[in-house]
Structure 1
Amino acid sequence: MDPVIIVGAGPVGLTLALALARQEVPSVVLDEGPGEDEPRPARSVVLREDTTELVKRLTGMPLTAVGSPWAGWRSVRRKQVTHEVAFDDTEPGPVHIAQHVLTGVLRAALVGEPLVEVVLDSRLDSLAQEPSGVTAHTRGPRGAWWRGSYLVGCDGPRSTVRKLQDIRFPGRTAVERHAVAALRTELPRPGEALLHRMPPWRTSGPFAGEISARPLTDGVWRLDWLMPPGKELVTPELLLDRVRETLGGWVEGPTPPYELLDTGVHTVHHRLARRWRAGRVFLAGDAAHLLGALGTHGLDEGLRDVDNLAWKLALAWHHGPHEALLDSYQTERRAIVAARLRAADQALPLVRGGGGLRSYVPGAGRGHDAFLAEGHLGRGTLGAPGVHTGSPLTPPPLEGEVPVGTPAGAPVTDVRVTAEDGTFVRLRGRLGRGALLVVLVAPGTGVWERRHWMSAGIMPRLASAVAALPQPAELLVAESYPGAAAHTVLLVRPDGYLVTALSGVRPASLYTAAETALGGPAPTGTGADAGAGAAGTDAGADAGTGAGAEVDAGTGAGSR
């Protein structure tokens, strides 16, 4: 079986290569660059809890060691704090990291990985599909033909893969524009991110209405000034004036010492590809969507694309194509991103407008501040991991199905579980291996050795039912799970989304749920049938539902 071809060696492409390797799928990563990233502290990304855990699981490196986990968050309007959050071990904050540092962590994890070949200075210029695979050609010093089983375009906003497949990318341009500066200085609240709206020292013209400050490591901060619509030129003199004015305003005195490290302009666009699958070719990350307005970050969604796609490609690579399962990548991910974009588009006129409802609704400004905080913190409709409502992988109503604290189609809670070897692990730590997870909620098992309860009660029946599932599954035991009664059985997808919760051992219901979560009955064809499936529908958002991304020169935070 030929490897998967990954076009693009940004964070999304490298993460996909690692995710496939962890499931024993080889890949070739076509990197159009030299394999080194220019240090740009103003080009940074904010990752939420689920995406930082994904990177940690794949690389073994906690991003808190190389990035800056937020100690807290404050929203300030003029001089009044309108929203404040403190983070701790029970509620970890987002991690802010320079993109070149993140890419370095991913590249380091690929060193010595036998299942991944990274090919430098190789730019895709053509590709062709056949029923049995994909052929791609690259130009450059190592120009060559490449043969793959599938091809995934992780090659950014100007995706060559998307253009070669003639996939439209409608949306809106320059939804928001920010001037950006990365500098080393001391601010009053170290480690705490800040969104300051309508600062009392603001002046007329650019940079007047909204400023954000996000900590990086080693005393470095990234400052963003929201610019009004238009094409005002951001000159170095103007930017330096705003740096001094902002720092002086925050410390309420003379401008503190600072070292300016990097500057740029970050422009947000809203775009959504019509299709994310065309036969054996897929799109992921900024090649499929651009978003980033109101504090959200597109790389979060790109890494979630990878988590959704990797296990489906791995199953197709190992066991033969399953068109319904592969089609579900577009159906699930595009719907979530489309909803995110619709929410941002609907909110923008209210949050950014100077009049309208804000003039008539008491407290509207405070409500807008809370909405903006959700975007920055990765919560609510703007940033929280989506729920796969209406997914084709959702099973029909099942006998013995019971509600728990997690809705079907939502990410599971990361509880402590006992693995099959008797060790205590975190549930999220068992994800990404291509196997389904079956979790029995059994209070009291944590105080007994595994040998005492593996052969007692309902465990033998459950183990037998798990062994009969259509796909390898790992049986885990949890002392408790939010909203679940004793002897509840949870079925979890390889990417950590809940399929169903059952009351007790119900082999028929468990089998039906597992089969549906894998795309339906196993295909009877062979690998030659791959690529014959539907290229996907245009369900979801259209032009104008949009998404923002960091694609400009300067901060250039568009992730690949």
Structure 2
Amino acid sequence: MDPVIIVGAGPVGLTLALALARQEVPCVVLDEGPGKDEPRPARSVVLREDTTALLERLTGAPLARAGSRWAGWRSMRRKQVTHEVVFDATAPAPLHIAQHVLTGALRAALTRERLVEVAVDSRLDSLEQEPSGVTAHTRGPRSTWWRGSYLVGCDGPRSTVRKLQDIRFPGRTAVERHAVAALRTELPRPGEALLHRMPPWRASGPFAGEVTARPLPDSVWRLDWLLPPGKDLVTPELLLTRIRETLAGWAGGPTPPYELLDTGVHTVHHRLARRWRADRVFLAGDAAHLLGSLGTHGLDEGLRDADNLAWKLALAWHHGHHEALLDSYQAERRAIVSARLRAADQALPLLRGGGGLRSYVPGSGRGHDALLVDGHLGQGPLGAPGGHPGSPLAPRNLEGAVPVDTPLGAPVTDVRVTAEDGTFVRLRDRLGRGALLVVLIAPGTGVWERRHWVSAGIMPRLAAAVAALPHPAELLVAESYPGAAAHTVLLVRPDGHLVTALGGVRPADLYAAAETVLGGPADAETAGTAETAGTAETAGTEARTAAGAGSR
């Protein structure tokens, strides 16, 4: 079968290529550039903890060493601290990393992948779709035709793929503008990120209201000054003046020594593509959505696009085209990003309105600062990882379903599990392999060797039910899971979202949930579904009888 064509070699496209290769799907990455990225410390990204884990799992590189995990976070208004967070094992810090460093790690990992070809200096200029695949043409030194099974546009805000598919990209332009500087210096609280609103040294002009400082390794800091609406020119002289004033204000004295490394102006747009799928063509990352106001993390959402799409494309590539499964990518991811944009648009008038009755309400400033903290730290409606409760892949009306602390469709909590070979691993480490995960909550198993309990109790019946599922699944055992009683069985998608939690071993429910999360039966297989489900139940019953167990 033809490879998947990925247009764009930014972090989203490279991540998608790695994720597909790990599931034995060949890819061609069309890179319009020379295959390397210019070092730009002022162009950095903030990644949530689970997204960082995804990248480290794919690259095999400890990205936390290449970036900065903050020691804490402070929000200040004038001279007062309004919000303070200390990061630890119970509250993991986001990762702040220069984008060229992240892209370099992804490119290095791709050089070790036999299933991925990166075609540099290859700019897409046309594509054609057929029922059996996609044909793309590139111009440049390697002008040629490429044949693929699917094509994914990860080619940024000005996406050629989106334009060739005539997909509208409505939204708002220049929602926020920031002047940015990356510099090496020593600040009073090393390793701690800071959002300072209305600093007391602020002056009139385009840098008056808000500045953010986020640390990078080697005493490098990225500073962002919010600019007022409009197109005021940010001159080098004005930027240098603001750098000196800001550093002096935080130091409480003369401007400390600093080395200016990079500057820029970051403009935030809010846009959402009308469609993320056109037959065998998909959009991901900035080609599908633009967000980033109020501290929200646009690239982080693009990486979640790649994680969501990869396992679905892999299933379609290996087992045949499945409309419902592929349609679910747009249904799930577009709904989450749309909600994020809607929350930001609702908060913007409060935070950037500059007056009105709300500004006189006692405590309103502190509440507004809390909204900004949500965006910057990946919390609340502005920033928390989204779930898929209304997904077309969500099973409904399962008799044995029970509640746990993780809502259905949300990312699972990363707990320690025992793998099938008896080793202890993190649940998150088993994601991204294309298999479903079935997790049995069995207190006490962690203190016994696997050979003592693998054939006891309900394990044989559960193993038989897992073996009968319509897709490969890995059986894991956990000592505990938040909100789960003993003998609860969790079904987890390949991208780490909870499908269902069942009260005990219920083979028919487990099979039905697995079949639903795979998009339902393909048209040609519909007739055999009832018979297969019955076989799963029968296999489970026989195993239960043989083991003399069967507690639900």
TM over 0.5: yes
Q: What one-letter code is carried by the residue in structure 2 that aligns with 1:189? A: R
- Offset at residue 232 of structure 1 (A): 0.7
Residues in 1 aligned to 2:325 and 2:263: alpha-carbon distance in whole angstroms: 44
Residues in 2 aligned to 1:510 and 1:101: alpha-carbon distance in whole angstroms: 42
Contact 1:350 1:357 in 2 (8 A): no
> 1:466 maps to which residue?
466
> 1:327 maps to which residue?
327
Contact 2:395 2:499 in 1 (8 A): yes
Q: How does 1:304-343 map to 2 (within 5 A)?
A: 304-343=304-343
3-state DSSP of counterpart to 2:524? coil
RMSD over equivalenced CA pairs, Å: 0.7
C-alpha spacing 1:523/1:425, structure 2 compared with 1 (3 Å): farther
3-state DSSP of counterpart to 1:88? coil
Residues in 1 aligned to 2:269 and 2:13: alpha-carbon distance in whole angstroms: 21
Contact 1:350 1:356 in 2 (8 A): no
Q: What one-letter code is carried by the residue in structure 2 that aligns with 1:470? A: P
> 2:410 maps to which residue?
410
Q: What one-letter code is carried by the residue in structure 1 that aligns with 2:330? A: Q
Contact 2:359 2:365 in 1 (8 A): no
Is 1:69 the counterpart of 2:69 in the alignment?
Answer: yes
> 2:440 maps to which residue?
440
Contact 2:14 2:107 in 1 (8 A): yes
> 1:192 maps to which residue?
192
Is 1:213 the counterpart of 2:213 in the alignment?
Answer: yes
Q: How does 1:141-540 map to 2 (within 5 A)?
A: 141-524=141-524
Residues in 2 aligned to 1:471 and 1:501: alpha-carbon distance in whole angstroms: 18
Residues in 2 aligned to 1:338 and 1:410: alpha-carbon distance in whole angstroms: 17
- Offset at residue 92 of structure 1 (A): 1.4
What CA deviation, in whole Å up to 9, does each residue of 1:456-483 have, x standing for no partner?
0000000000000010000000000000
3-state DSSP of counterpart to 1:443? coil
Residues in 2 aligned to 1:283 and 1:59: alpha-carbon distance in whole angstroms: 23
3-state DSSP of counterpart to 1:524? helix
> 2:7 maps to which residue?
7
- Offset at residue 360 of structure 1 (A): 3.7
> 1:111 maps to which residue?
111
3-state DSSP of counterpart to 1:432? coil
Q: What one-letter code is carried by the residue in structure 2 that aligns with 1:449? A: E
Residues in 2 aligned to 1:524 and 1:187: alpha-carbon distance in whole angstroms: 65
What CA deviation, in whole Å up to 9, does each residue of 1:99-148 have, x standing for no partner?
00000000000113100000000000000000000000000000100000
Is 1:23 the counterpart of 2:29 in the alignment?
Answer: no
Higher helix fraction (1 or 2): 2
- Offset at residue 396 of structure 1 (A): 1.0
3-state DSSP of counterpart to 2:84? strand
Residues in 2 aligned to 1:357 and 1:512: alpha-carbon distance in whole angstroms: 54
> 1:40 maps to which residue?
40
Residues in 2 aligned to 1:415 and 1:201: alpha-carbon distance in whole angstroms: 47
Residues in 1 aligned to 2:112 and 2:458: alpha-carbon distance in whole angstroms: 44
- Offset at residue 205 of structure 1 (A): 1.0
Contact 1:134 1:148 in 2 (8 A): yes
Residues in 2 aligned to 1:297 and 1:406: alpha-carbon distance in whole angstroms: 23
Q: What one-letter code is carried by the residue in structure 1 that aligns with 2:418? A: T
Q: What one-letter code is carried by the residue in structure 2 that aligns with 1:395? A: P
> 1:130 maps to which residue?
130
TM-score, length of structure 1 as denominator length: 0.93
> 2:545 maps to which residue?
none
Contact 2:78 2:197 in 1 (8 A): yes
Residues in 2 aligned to 1:360 and 1:450: alpha-carbon distance in whole angstroms: 63
Q: What one-letter code is carried by the residue in structure 2 that aligns with 1:493? A: R
Bigger Cα displacement from structure 2, 430-439 vs 88-97: 88-97
Residues in 2 aligned to 1:161 and 1:33: alpha-carbon distance in whole angstroms: 16
Residues in 2 aligned to 1:89 and 1:359: alpha-carbon distance in whole angstroms: 37
Residues in 1 aligned to 2:517 and 2:84: alpha-carbon distance in whole angstroms: 40
Decide which structure has the larger Cα Rg and report it.
2
- Offset at residue 400 of structure 1 (A): 1.2
3-state DSSP of counterpart to 1:260? strand
What CA deviation, in whole Å up to 9, does each residue of 1:366-420 have, x standing for no partner?
0000110010001111111101121101101111110001010000000000000
Residues in 2 aligned to 1:415 and 1:362: alpha-carbon distance in whole angstroms: 42
Q: What one-letter code is carried by the residue in structure 2 that aligns with 1:16? A: L
Contact 1:321 1:523 in 2 (8 A): no
Residues in 2 aligned to 1:162 and 1:357: alpha-carbon distance in whole angstroms: 43
3-state DSSP of counterpart to 2:100? helix
> 1:139 maps to which residue?
139
- Offset at residue 252 of structure 1 (A): 0.4
Structure 1's unaligned 5+ residue stretches are: 526-560
- Offset at residue 365 of structure 1 (A): 0.5
What CA deviation, in whole Å up to 9, does each residue of 1:152-193 have, x standing for no partner?
000000000000000000000000000000000000011100
Residues in 2 aligned to 1:326 and 1:167: alpha-carbon distance in whole angstroms: 18
Contact 1:7 1:124 in 2 (8 A): yes
Q: What one-letter code is carried by the residue in structure 1 that aligns with 2:137? A: H
Residues in 2 aligned to 1:67 and 1:90: alpha-carbon distance in whole angstroms: 20
> 1:90 maps to which residue?
90
C-alpha spacing 1:357/1:341, structure 2 compared with 1 (3 Å): farther
Structure 2's unaligned 5+ residue stretches are: 526-552
Query: RCO greater where, 1 or 2, for CA within 8 Å and sep 6 or more?
Result: 1
Residues in 2 aligned to 1:201 and 1:279: alpha-carbon distance in whole angstroms: 55
3-state DSSP of counterpart to 2:456? coil
TM-score, length of structure 2 as denominator length: 0.94
C-alpha spacing 1:81/1:206, structure 2 compared with 1 (3 Å): same
> 2:542 maps to which residue?
none
Bigger Cα displacement from structure 2, 335-344 vs 389-398: 389-398
Residues in 1 aligned to 2:236 and 2:523: alpha-carbon distance in whole angstroms: 61
- Offset at residue 90 of structure 1 (A): 2.8
3-state DSSP of counterpart to 2:102? helix
What CA deviation, in whole Å up to 9, does each residue of 1:54-99 have, x standing for no partner?
1011011121110011111000000100000011233210111110
Residues in 1 aligned to 2:354 and 2:156: alpha-carbon distance in whole angstroms: 34
> 1:542 maps to which residue?
none
Contact 1:197 1:211 in 2 (8 A): yes
